[in-house]
């Protein structure tokens, strides 16, 4: 077995208030707590595979997880980098479809799992949680229309700037001594977020470094000048 158990308690969970489970009554929280299992996943493990049937939902307690869809040449298109507090896998369960994406850990992650049956029961008895998830899904749809427009109309350079701005949210808590965001992703993953070839991405990183917008330490990328990123992103 590639994962290990860990003891996590929803009542004590520090990131609960940032998650979909924030603001729930203590009765609901203890219901979740009673049905979940908590696991440590090593880097590179798959939580679920695109095209498989949802078995439950995953609540990220710690670590980053990439959600990606495979194109037909086997190239990953990364749809989202999920961080602590995010609830994964509920959408396909609600729409009663197969997972449209795969979820893979980018580092060691602590993840709680709530089985489908228990989760659906909670949902049906908790209007507040239901409304919260519905709202979240509608919000995501708005973001996706923006993503589609960016991919269709913006240059790779602009999309890379947008990606960095977005990753600053995701990696905001990972910062260096001088409080600058540090992004730890392979060049290939970064290219698969932007939607370009790895070589093209590397050339653009070079340009950004020359302009002191970013710096690098090994594979790690440090965001140096966000205002210039916003400028390059050329947002409408």
Partner DNA sequence: CGTGTAATTGAATGCAGTCAAACGAAGTGG
Partner DNA sequence: CCACTTCGTTTGACTGCATTCAATTACACG
Question: Where on the chain is the footprint of DNA (CB under 7 A)?
Answer: 43, 155-157, 186-188, 195-200, 202-203, 205-206, 216, 218-219
Cβ nearer to DNA, comparing 74 with 142 = 74
Cβ nearer to a copy of itself, comparing 50 with 226 = 50
- Which does residue 94 touch among a copy of itself, DNA, none (CB within 5 to 8 A, set by kind)? a copy of itself
Phi/psi of residue 53, each to 5°?
A: -85, 135
Cα Rg for the chain, rounded, in angstroms? Answer: 19
- Distance, C-alpha 130 to centroid of its chain: 21
Shortest gap between Cβ of 231 and DNA (angstroms)? 16
- Which does residue 70 touch among a copy of itself, DNA, none (CB within 5 to 8 A, set by kind)? a copy of itself
**Helices 156-170 and 127-153, interaxial angle, to 10°?**
150
- Which does residue 3 touch among a copy of itself, DNA, none (CB within 5 to 8 A, set by kind)? none
Cβ nearer to a copy of itself, comparing 130 with 228 = 130
- Which does residue 218 touch among a copy of itself, DNA, none (CB within 5 to 8 A, set by kind)? DNA
Shortest gap between Cβ of 165 and DNA (angstroms)? 17
- Which does residue 186 touch among a copy of itself, DNA, none (CB within 5 to 8 A, set by kind)? DNA
Cβ nearer to DNA, comparing 107 with 228 = 107
Please enumerate in sequence order all residues whose Cβ is within 8 A of that of 168, keeping only pairs 6 or more positions apart, or say none: 181, 223, 226
Which residue in 229, 26, 202 sits closest to 126, CA to CA?
Answer: 26
Q: Which spans of this chain sit near a copy of itself (rule: CB under 8 A)?
A: 69-73, 75, 77, 79, 91-92, 94-97, 100-101, 130, 133-142, 144-149, 151-154, 195, 234-236
């Amino acid at each position: 077995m590639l994962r290990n158990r860990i003891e996590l308690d929803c009542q004590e969970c520090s990131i609960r208030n940032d998650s979909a489970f924030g603001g729930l009554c203590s009765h609901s929280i203890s219901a979740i707590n009673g049905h979940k299992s908590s696991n440590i996943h090593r880097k590179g493990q798959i939580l679920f595979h695109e095209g498989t049937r949802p078995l439950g939902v995953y609540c990220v307690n710690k670590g980053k997880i990439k959600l990606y869809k495979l194109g037909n040449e086997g190239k990953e298109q990364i749809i989202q980098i999920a961080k602590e507090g995010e609830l994964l896998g509920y959408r396909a369960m609600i729409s009663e479809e197969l997972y449209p994406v795969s979820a893979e850990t980018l580092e060691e992650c602590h993840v709680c799992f709530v089985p489908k049956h228990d989760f659906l029961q909670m949902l049906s008895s908790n209007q507040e949680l239901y409304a919260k998830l519905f709202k979240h899904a509608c919000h995501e749809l708005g973001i996706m229309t923006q993503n589609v427009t960016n991919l269709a109309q913006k240059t790779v350079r602009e999309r890379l700037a947008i990606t960095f701005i977005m990753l600053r949210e995701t990696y905001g808590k990972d910062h260096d001594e001088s409080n600058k965001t540090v992004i730890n992703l392979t060049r290939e993953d970064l290219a698969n977020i932007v939607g370009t070839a790895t070589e093209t991405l590397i050339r653009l990183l070079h340009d950004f470094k020359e302009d002191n917008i970013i710096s690098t330490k090994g594979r790690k990328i440090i965001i140096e000048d966000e205002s210039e990123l916003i400028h390059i992103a050329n947002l409408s």
